[in-house]
Amino acid sequence: MPRPPIPLTVEDHRRDSAGMRYVYPVLSRRAGGVSIGINLNPNNACNWRCIYCQVPDLRRGGPPPVELGRLEAELSGLLEALSDAGESPDFSVPPGTRIVDVAFSGNGEPLAAAEFPEAVEAVDRLLAARGLGGLTRRLITNGSLVGRKSARRGLAVLAAGTGEVWFKLDAGTEAGYLRINGTRTTPATVLRRLGACAALCPTWVQTCVFALDGRPPPEAELAAYLELLARAAPSLAGVHLYGIARPPMQAEAPRLTRLPEAWLAALGARIGALGLRVTVNP
Ligand code: SF4
């Protein structure tokens, strides 16, 4: 028996809420409409393991080959449903809801998909066909794979239109990357990747902050993070600073708690003092 349409709500950010493999609509109160998500990692595999990650059953690895025809068919169907009546066999949204943006934001690292450039091209084609070519297209990435040829090509396609990157930066030391992101890398490598990304496409840093075992990030870690940001600042569009809005899905979840709004505001002010635009979402 077909399931009844699921009403999309601002609370329901499940990737499968519309019953599709690659495309998921999210009703965003903050953005005032539907954000269309593109998940190129349907197998919940990422090359990182962030302790605050919200992906259920996350495992290490990369995505299987992307079925571009299926991605196009899903996005085309969703755009049609949204432009017609706000209804599809799988979901419903309040009438008159507008589409605000498209985000490559998956259950893993989007740039791990070799088909990333073709996926961006397909999205651009479908948006343009519906007169939506001016929508912001956004890549949410951990930045670790920007050196790949396919990633660089995809970033160039993204930049050719109204594209932007949100590049994850949660720490400024090797120990910090290992503790928070489960990855072995150095500040110099991260800085190089950030610069390479920003040279190809407008790039925001996105930083997630939280208390671990009741304690905020140590001052030495914050100082290293700010020093890295200061060096990258001239090439950046700004910084999005945010807390853990939805429950983490990893084993460390019970050790993580939200930091006070004032704590985030104070860090935001230190980032702003570097001459960077900063948004704060506790
Ligand atoms: S990079 Fe993103 S998807 Fe990968 S583990 Fe971190 S939060 Fe999860």
Helix, strand, coil shares of the chain, percent, nearest 5, are 35, 20, 45
**Domain boundary pick from 111, 142, 167:** 167
Indicate if 140 and 233 belong to the same structural domain. no
**Domain boundary pick from 167, 188, 212:** 167
pLDDT for 251: 87
pLDDT (average), residues 157-169:
95
Domain span including residue 214: 169-282
- Ligand 1 atom with the smallest distance to the CA of 46 is 4
**How far apart are alpha carbons 8 and 18 in whole angstroms?**
8
Indicate if 133 and 238 belong to the same structural domain. no
Indicate if 162 and 175 belong to the same structural domain. no
Residue % of the chain over a pLDDT of 90? 74
Ligand 1 atom 3 nearest Cα? 108
For residue 85, pLDDT beyond 60: no
Ligand 1 atom 2 nearest Cα? 108
Indicate if 182 and 80 belong to the same structural domain. no
Pocket of ligand 1 (CB under 6 A): 46, 48-50, 53, 55, 58, 108-109, 142, 168
**How far apart are alpha carbons 115 and 18 in whole angstroms?**
23
Ligand 1 atom 6 nearest Cα? 50
What tokens appear for 127 in the block? 């948006």
pLDDT (average), residues 33-56:
95
Residue % of the chain over a pLDDT of 70? 89
Indicate if 76 and 3 belong to the same structural domain. yes
- Ligand 1 atom with the smallest distance to the CA of 168 is 1
pLDDT for 83: 75
**Domain boundary pick from 126, 151, 167:** 167
**10 falls in which pLDDT band (50, 70, 90)?**
very low
Number of domains the chain is built from: 2
What do you get for the CA distance between the two ends of the chain, in Å?
Answer: 42
Indicate if 36 and 145 belong to the same structural domain. yes
